[in-house]
Amino acid sequence: MPAALDWLLAPPLLLAAVAAALHARGARRQLRVTSAARRRALRWRVAAFYAALATIVVALGAPIDDLVDTLFWVHMLQHVLLMMVAAPLLVLAAPWLPLWRGLPLGARRALGSWYVRSPGWRRVRRAARWLAAPLVAWILFDLDLLAWHVPALYEVTLHHQAVHELEHASFLLLGVIFWIQVLDSPPLRARLGPSAGVLYVLTAATAAWALAVVLALARSPLYPTYRELASRPGGLSALADQQLAAGIMWGPGSVPYAIFVFVALHRWLTTEDETHEPGGAQLAATSNVTRAGTSEAMSSAEASSAR
């Protein structure tokens, strides 16, 4: 019973429960002011949000978090779940407006006034605009992945829980900033189109592949904590454990990149085919104008609803 209670009171589960409650309340309010045509998309985003929360809880809870000190491949799986699964799911879920609307009206007014008037928030907004630049997001995402796997820094995360939690937070936050450049997350729009997005994602994937190659081809274990263990679950050797971790990064870790590339290429080629058909360019232009007008109208409706 104490173990079950510890799991129920663990910060990841408690934070996920609070986020789920706020989101459910805000989503219900949003559904009431949303057209029937958009309700299906909103429900799909709600499902993506709960899937993201579930992924975070699984990654940071038992049994995965209990095994990260003895199995390197489990630790790598934890990183992949946060950066490559939970982060893009959060972007696809676009939970920003539902979470905001889930707060009490008084809290929203107080936070909104504080955000607009506080001098400190001006610096935060400037930093956010800098972080939102695609090149900056790309550099930070890849550097974050590689830096935390440098043996000296990796050892610090294994022996200091606060640093370990900072590592997880950086994976999730920079993962969201990375994926939001190429995936629409209303009211935010992707900054890169399909062709630029494919290049952006593929070049970012090379950092993960490079890490996997280094881990797989190393002739000896790179991380002292795992190397010095007398035994580990499953009877794996330290080197086999490290090679399995490389496989996790190279295999499952590459799946989200591949899915995005295939979908983006399909949309890009489909758009190209439509614009080359007779009257296709005019139809595409008309469609773009219609979408722009619809988006503007929806934004106005959402703003008035928020007020």
Each residue's pLDDT tens digit, 245-293: 999 999 999 999 999 999 998 888 887 655 555 544 443 444 444 444 4
**What would the DSSP string read from start to end of the chain?**
-HHHHHHHTSHHHHHHHHHHHHHHHHHHHHHHTS-HHHHHHHHHHHHHHHHHHHHHHHHHSTTHHHHTTT-HHHHHHHHHIIIIIIHHHHHHH--HHHHHHHS-HHHHHHHHHHHHH-HHHHHHHHHHHHHTSHHHHHHHHHHHHHHHTSHHHHHHHHH-HHHHHHHHHHHHHHHHHHHTTTS-BTTB--SS-HHHHHHHHHHHHHHHHHHHHHHHH-SS-S-HHHHT-S--GGG--HHHHHHHHHHHHHTGGGHHHHHHHHHHHHHHHHHHHHHHSTTHHHHHHHHHHHHHHHHHHHHHHHHHHH-
Q: Which residues are CB-contacts of 51 (< 8 A; sequence separation ≥ 6)?
A: 89, 93
**pLDDT value at residue 295:** 46
Residues 213, 253 contacting (CB under 8 angstroms): no
| Sign of torsion over alpha carbons 50, 54, 59, 65 | positive
Out of 118-132, 163-177, 218-232, pick the least confident: 118-132
Neighbours of 19 (CB within 10 A): 18
pLDDT surpasses 70 at 83: yes
Domain boundaries, the chain: 2-276
pLDDT surpasses 60 at 95: yes
**pLDDT value at residue 128:** 81
Which one is predicted more confidently, 5 or 239? 239
pLDDT surpasses 90 at 206: yes
CA-closest candidate to residue 43, choices 100, 101, 93, 96: 93
- Retrieve residue 244's tokens: 């399995």
Round to whole Å and give the CA distance between 44 and 89. 11
Out of 26-35, 190-199, 211-220, pick the least confident: 26-35
Q: What is the mean pLDDT of the chain?
A: 84
**pLDDT value at residue 9:** 47
Across 75-89, 113-127, 260-274, which has the greatest mean pLDDT? 75-89
Query: pLDDT band for position 10 (50/70/90)?
Result: low
Residues 141, 148 contacting (CB under 8 angstroms): no
